[in-house]
Amino acid sequence: MKSSIKHQGEIRGNAIRKRLDKVVGLGQRTYTPSELAVDRAKGCNIYTVDGKRLIDFTSGVLVANLGHAHAGFEKRCKQYTAALPRNAYNMVTAIEAEAAERVIKSLSYPRAQKLLWAASGSEGIQKAMWAALHRHPDRPIMVATRGGFHGKKGLAGDVTGDKSVNRNVKFISFPMKDVKPKAFYQAELDELAKKYADRIALLITEPYLGAKGSFHPPKWYHKMLQRWCRKHDIAFIFDEVQACHGRTGNMYAFESYGVEPDLVVLGKGLGNGEPAAAAVGRADLVDALHYGEASDTFSGNPRACAAVCATFDVFKSERVVANCQRMAPIMLEGLLALKDRFSFVKDIRGEGLVYGVEIADPGTANRCVLEAYRGNGKAGVHFLGPLAEKVLRVSPPLIITEKEVANAFGIIEKTWARI
C-alpha cells in the first residue's frame, strides 16, 4: 500500500516519501496531507529538504514546548549525562534521582509523593492504572470519560474512545458542545457507585479532550469527579500527557482546573522531545507495584532524565510559562479573526497555547492544512492532519514570539483565501 503523497516541485521530498513507501508500513504514521520531509529545525521553524521554511504550529505533537534545537536545553542535556551510559537498566544514577525529585517538587501538592517512569505517555497511563488496580485487587471496575484518548495498547487502549472490549471499563459523559447541567453528570457517577459499590478501582480522564477535537470542560467538572472519587476511595487519575509543562497556561493542567489528582501522568513536553513520561502521585498507589511489575527496558534512562532536568532549567531561566500566558490572548485573537473572515471556520476552542479550529467538513480541513503548507512558495505554516476529521490543532512551541504569531497568521490568511 502506498501513501501516494506527492508535492509539485519537491524533488527531494518526493524521493524520500517514495523510499519510505517501499519499506515502512502506513500504520507507522498518522495521516497528515503535507507529510513534509524535514531537513532541520530551529526554534519555531522547520525547514524541508527542498528549502521551504515552515512556522511550526504543532510542537511535534505537543512535545517540543521549548522549540527545536534549543541551545540551552541541548547544552544542559550534555552536561547532565556526561559519560553515563545511554541505558541504565537495573542500575541507578544520580541524574534519575534528581529528575524524580524535581518532578515531584514541581507538582507541589501533598499527594505527589512518588513516581514511576515510562518511555511514552501510554506506558505511563498503563502504569498508573496498574498501580490503582494492584492497590485494590478486589476492585476490577475502571471508569473513563467518554471520548478520551489514552493510548492504543493494553489498558490505555481499553479506556480510550466511547466503548471498550474490556467488560470492566465503564464510560461516563464528558462535557463537549452540548454541556448539560451538573446534575446530569453527577447522576451518572452516583449510578455507577450504586451499581458497582466497592468494586471501582479508578477513574481516568483528560484535562481536555484533545484527539476528540479540543473540548475544554467547565471548571466545576473535574472538581466534581475528584469529590466523587474521594468519597468512594477511588483513584483519580489525570492524564495530562499532552497538557503538562505549560501548555494550558499553567505548568500543569490540574492547576488550571483546580484539582489534586491521586495520580497524574506526564509525558510529551516533560522531556522536550526525549522519550520521557511519568506517573506521579500517592506513595501507597505507586508502591502497590513490586519488583518487575512496572519495569521495562528504557524507562528512566539517563538521557531521558537529563532531558527532564534540562527542561526544568530552561522553563525557569526563560520564564516559559509566563511567555505562554502572554501569547495566549494574542493567539486567540488571531484565531477568532480567522473565524470572522472565513465562513468555513465554524468554532475556536482552547486555552493557553492549545486550540482546536473546527472546519466545516473534512475535505476543507485537509485543504486548510495543505494550503498553509504550500504557503507563499518559500514559507508556510505546519499543521498536523485534522483531529476528529475536521478540527485543526494549534499548539506551537511555548517560546513562540508575537512576531512569529503575526507572521504565521499573515501566511494563513493569504493561503486560506485560495480555498
Question: In this structure, what C-alpha cell is assigned to residue 95?
Answer: 541524574
What pairs with residue 118 in β-bridges? Answer: 277
- Decide which of 3.40.640.10, 3.10.20.70, 3.30.450.40, 3.90.1150.10 is the CATH code for 11-69+319-416: 3.90.1150.10
State the chain's mean pLDDT as an integer.
Answer: 97
Task: Write out pLDDT tens, residues 36-81.
Answer: 999 999 999 999 999 999 999 999 999 999 999 999 999 999 999 9
Q: Is the pLDDT of residue 2 over 90?
A: no
Please check whether residue 172 is in contact with residue 189, taking contact to mean a CB–CB distance below 8 angstroms.
yes
- How do the domains of the chain map onto residue ranges? 11-69+319-416, 87-300
**Residues in the chain, overall count:** 419
| Band of pLDDT at residue 329, cut at 50, 70 and 90 | very high
DSSP state of 179: P
Task: Write out pLDDT tens, residues 181-228.
Answer: 999 999 999 999 999 999 999 999 999 999 999 999 999 999 999 999
Cα separations in angstroms, 226 against 44, 136, 137, 204, 360: 37, 18, 21, 10, 35
Closest listed residue to residue 174, CA positions, set 164, 188, 192: 188
Q: Is the pLDDT of residue 4 over 80?
A: no
Q: Is the dihedral of CA 202, 207, 208, 212 positive or negative?
A: negative
Question: In this structure, what C-alpha cell is assigned to residue 288?
Answer: 502497590
Q: Strand ranges (DSSP E) for 162-218?
A: 169-172, 200-205
- Decide which of 1.20.120.430, 3.40.50.720, 3.40.640.10, 3.50.50.60 is the CATH code for 87-300: 3.40.640.10
Strand 354-359 relative to strand 345-351, pairing: antiparallel
104, with CB counted inside 10 A (0-12, 13-18, 19+), is middle
Task: Write out pLDDT tens, residues 265-303.
Answer: 999 999 999 999 999 999 999 999 999 999 999 999 999
Question: In this structure, what C-alpha cell is assigned to residue 290?
Answer: 513490586
Residues near 24 by beta carbon (within 8 Å), at least 6 away in sequence: none
Please check whether residue 398 is in contact with residue 320, taking contact to mean a CB–CB distance below 8 angstroms.
yes
Does 87-300 match 11-69+319-416 at the fold level?
A: no
